[in-house]
Every structure is written in C-alpha cells, then in structure tokens.
Amino acid sequence: MVGAGPGDPGLITVRAIEYLKQADVVYYDFLVNPELLAYAPAGSRKVYSGKQGGKLSAGHSVEQKKIISKIVHEAQRGRTVVRLKGGDPFLFGRGGEEGEALARQGIPFEVVPGVSSALAVPAYAGIPMTHRDYASSVAFITGHEKREQDGASRGLIPPFDWQTLAQIDTLCILMGVRNLADIVASLLQVGKSPETPVAVIESGTLPIQRTIEGVLNDIVKKVEAAQVKPPAIMVVGPVVRLRPLLRWFEKRPLFGKRILVTRTQEQAGELSRLLRAAGAEVLEVPTIEIHPPRSYQGLDRALRHLADYQWVIFTSQNAVQSFCQRLSRQGKDLRCLAGVKVAAIGAATAALLLDKGIKVDTVPAEFNAEGLSKIFQRRSILGQRILIPRARKGREVLLHALRRAGAKVDLVEAYQTLMPRQGRKDLRRLLLQHPVDWVTFTSSATVENFYRMLGAKSLLRGVRIACIGPVTAQTVRKLGWKVSIMPKQSTIPQLVRAIIKTK
C-alpha cells in the first residue's frame, strides 16, 4: 500500500518509486497523478480503481469490496501488487480497511507512507499548520460522513464534538467542500469567532491550485462565488494570516500558465521539468516518434570502416543514441573511434556524447548546421572522409557545404522520425479541452508534424509560440504563424528563461 502524495509528482517518495518499479499490477486511485504510473514496468497492468469525491453512488461500499477482492486475488496468484493511493494510505485513505482484509487472508504487505495532502496542500498555499506565535495544536478531520447502512454517502458532516474542536488552534478539514456551510455553522454555533481566518485550497500542489481566503463569516459566499470543486482542503485558524508572506508556490514566474510541449516522449523530460519548476502546467503531446531506419545497411557499413573517416558529425541527440546502440549491437566499442575527430551540433548533443565517453572536438557557437559549416569552411578538409549519421529526412545545408570544401561525405540513415499515429485526435481533443498559453517547438520536424496534426490553425488563436532556434522559427513562419520568442542560445534552459521573461 503506497502513498502517492497529494498531486505534485515530485512529492512521491523514493521508497514508493522503488516498489512501483517492481509492480506486476498497479491499482491506482482518482487523486493519483497519472505521471507516476510511468515508474511501473512497461509490461505491468495499470488498473484505475478510483472513486471521485462528490459523485459517490449507492455502489460505493460494493466498489470498495471489489477493489479489495481484486487486490487479494492478484496477490494470491503470486503477483507483486501496488495499491497506489492519493496522499497517505492511512490518513482518510481507507488503507486501514484494505490492510485488515489482506491480513485476514494471510497476505504479507507493506505500507509506504505518503506525503499527506493535509500537510502538503496548506504548505503549498503558504499556510503552516503550527507556528510558535499562532498555533501549538492542530486537528485533522474529515468533512465527510461515513457511509450509511444502505451503502450511500449522504454528504453529512460527522457528529464531532464541535465545542472541543473549536478550542484547537488549527483545524485542517479534508473532503469538506460540499459540507462547507454546515461546518461553518457548527463552528459558529459553539462560539468560534466569526472573524476567524479561513482558507479553502482547491487542487493543491498542482499548477491549477487556487486558494480562496476569508473568515468564517464570509467564506461560504466566497467559495460559492468562486465555484470551488473537490478536491479541496479547508484550513481554519490564525495561521492563515501568514499566507500573504509565505505563499511561495503561487509566486513562481509561470504559475497559472499552461504550456504545450511537442518534443518526443523520451526527450520531453528536461523541458517539462524546467517549465514545471517555474510553476507552469505542462501538457505533453509528442509530435514525432523516433523509429529505427528503414535499413541498417548504410550505418553498418560505415561502422565497419570507422577507421577510414577523419570526422564523424552528430547533428542531434537521437543520432548519438542510434550510433552508439548500433555500435554496441555489432560487438564494438569506442575504441573504433580512435584517431577519428568528432563534431556536434548543440550543447545537449555534445553533453550526451561526453556522457557516452566520447570527447567532442568541435561544437559551433551557433547550434545549427550553418554554424558548423562556417567552422569547416575555415579548415582544410579537402579529400577528407566525413561520416554523418542522422535522420532519413533532414536539411542539406551542412552536406552541401562540406562537399563544396572538397570533403567526401557519407550521409547514412541512423533513424527516422515519424508522426504519431494517434497524435491528431489526441492533440485536437487536448487543445479543445485545455486551451494553452504557449506552444514550444525544438525542431522543424516537430513544427511540421504539429501543423499536420492540428488540422485547424484557429486552435492556436491567441497562443504564443516559443522556438528553440532560427531554423525552427523559420519553419514556423513559413506555415503562417508568428514566433513570440527565440532565445539567443539554442538550448532548453535558455528557451525556458525566455518564456519566463516574456510571461
């Protein structure tokens, strides 16, 4: 039983990731961030087992029994099962009930605590649960009544001793949005000051987080006006007054911005990570997929005769990966490059080569084919043999420049880029449901495929476009779109910095 944390995928624990990587089956809840499922092995089963708050039916108790039955069944078949639950499994997460069932069946289990939303969500809103000057006691309570005998949840608040609770400095109430008016009335009835500060935090720890502030006397009207929906957490007490000073999460430069990343699934990581760190909500829709070449014949021939080349030029990280993988498949290693000089376009490509153990001799200041062409035009390469492993389709600028300088160039297909088969439907649906503020492009191929997948240019009306470099920007302009920003240096970190400056 693994706690998935409150929503921000960065709050998953190391122990949780360790077990997800071993899972044969993952049963995950409604509030679990789908990104966490990527830690599970590719061949594992991921089974949605969630119940959305506020939409519980008479089948609620039956559904819970079904979940437990499935977990028990899978475990008895010898499978490693991860029950992935939002927040912490033992704090209002019904993990105790599931643990009881497993124990009665003699099934060994382990509990991996998670970062509870009761602590994380107020922290992301800038509200500490305790503070030497404001609060030395805190209570975590549910704003949701236990199911009744017919299996239905009527949404009633539990019959707490509100007189006692009113004496506690900080109240953190989970699952209480639909019962907010009753909760407030109960506290006021037992003498809690109408001026007691209150905050209601919706979708806490996520880029769409909203915080509604008020006091007991007006919070109901404010929440209704804002149309706050679950999941949300309510904090009552003087610690709420610290929020203007401590609200760090919502002050991040891209908070509230939704940005579409169009890189391949494998390469979206760094760009998405930096955008999220700046507060953006990131939507990933790969517009290209990397596939093996139509034939390895040309690449294999070149690898067998690497010693005959004076230079190998890598134009992308994909070229590096494909080259090294094929070299290893042939039973060879980096010794084959002894005496061969290496050039790379882009700092990221050079860094990947270095990570593979290959020292780069030349990297142009301009991270494109034109920049590398200028370098070789100043060198004497007459009669030299140069190998360029790259995608099937690509620009010919470098090839022509090298041949004009008298070099003998072998251009071999190391991989091919294709448009995702389901991409068009996914992209159009995503943009219709979640309008974006920015679209990022890191290559001409991503632009061209995006254009074909989009179908209707109107879906980008009012959306700003960020391009990593001049070649990509030129492709965008040719298709009739306006480029909003292009960093001076064609790197992912510089692209993100440029978006932040233009927010």
Tens digits of residue pLDDT in 248-305: 999 999 999 999 998 765 666 889 989 999 999 998 888 888 899 999 999 999 999 9
The DSSP code for 460 is G
Q: Report whether 249 contacts 279 (CB < 8 A).
A: yes
- Dist CA 490 CA 497 (whole Å): 11
The DSSP code for 457 is G
Edge to edge, what strands does the sheet with 289-291 contain?
A: 289-291, 408-418, 385-391, 311-314, 341-344
Task: Tell me the average pLDDT across 40-61.
Answer: 69
- Residue 203's Cβ-side half-sphere holds a number of Cα atoms within 13 Å equal to 12
What fold does the segment set 119-249 form as a domain?
3.30.950
**According to the CATH classification, is domain 2-115 in 1.10.10.10?**
no
Q: Report whether 425 contacts 416 (CB < 8 A).
A: no
Q: Report whether 376 contacts 402 (CB < 8 A).
A: yes
Q: Report whether 255 contacts 207 (CB < 8 A).
A: yes
Edge to edge, what strands does the sheet with 258-261 contain?
A: 281-284, 258-261, 438-441, 464-467
The reported pLDDT for the residue numbered 490 is 86
**Which sequence spans correspond to the domains of the chain?**
2-115, 119-249, 258-288+420-501, 292-418
- Dist CA 31 CA 39 (whole Å): 17
Alpha helices in 293-385 (DSSP H): 297-304, 317-329, 347-355, 369-377
Q: Which two tokens stand for residue 5?
A: 């944390």
Tens digits of residue pLDDT in 117-142: 999 999 999 999 999 999 999 999 99
The reported pLDDT for the residue numbered 76 is 94
CA 381 to chain centre: 45
Active site members: 29, 51, 175
Query: Which residue from 50, 15, 57, 17 is spatially nearest to 32, judged by alpha carbons?
Result: 50
Bridge partners for 311 per DSSP? 341, 386
- 306 φ, ψ to 5°? -60, -35
- Dist CA 110 CA 133 (whole Å): 39
Report domain 258-288+420-501's class.
alpha beta
Tens digits of residue pLDDT in 461-501: 889 999 999 989 999 999 989 999 999 888 899 999 999 99
Provide the mean pLDDT of the chain. Answer: 90
Task: Tell me the average pLDDT across 39-51.
Answer: 89
Q: Which two tokens stand for residue 385?
A: 């043999």
- 481 φ, ψ to 5°? -105, 160
- Dist CA 230 CA 317 (whole Å): 42
Bridge partners for 290 per DSSP? 417
Is the pLDDT score of 148 beyond 70? no
Give residue for tokens 């476009």: 465
The answer to whether the bond into 231 is cis (omega within 30° of 0) is yes
- Dist CA 271 CA 277 (whole Å): 10
Residue 107 gets the label, from left (phi > 0), alpha (psi -120 to 50) or beta, of beta
Terminal-to-terminal C-alpha distance of the chain: 41
The reported pLDDT for the residue numbered 422 is 67
Q: Which amino acid is at 253?
A: P
Q: What percent of the chain has pLDDT over 90?
A: 67
Q: Would the CATH topology of 119-249 be identical to that of 258-288+420-501?
A: no
Alpha helices in 35-82 (DSSP H): 60-76
Neighbours of 96 (CB within 10 A): 13
Q: In sequence order, what E strands does 150-231 have?
A: 170-174, 197-202, 210-215
3-state secondary structure of 47: strand
The reported pLDDT for the residue numbered 51 is 65
Tens digits of residue pLDDT in 3-25: 999 999 999 999 999 999 999 99
The least confident of 88-92, 198-202, 266-270, 418-422 is 266-270
Query: Which residue from 350, 389, 345, 394 is spatially nearest to 365, judged by alpha carbons?
Result: 345
What fold does the segment set 292-418 form as a domain?
Rossmann fold (3.40.50)
Task: Tell me the average pLDDT across 389-398.
Answer: 86
The DSSP code for 87 is B
Is the pLDDT score of 204 beyond 80? yes
Tens digits of residue pLDDT in 69-91: 999 999 999 999 999 999 999 99
The reported pLDDT for the residue numbered 392 is 82
Give residue for tokens 């699934």: 265
Identify the helix (H) or strand (E) that includes residue 82: strand 81-85
- Dist CA 358 CA 364 (whole Å): 17
Is the pLDDT score of 52 beyond 50? yes
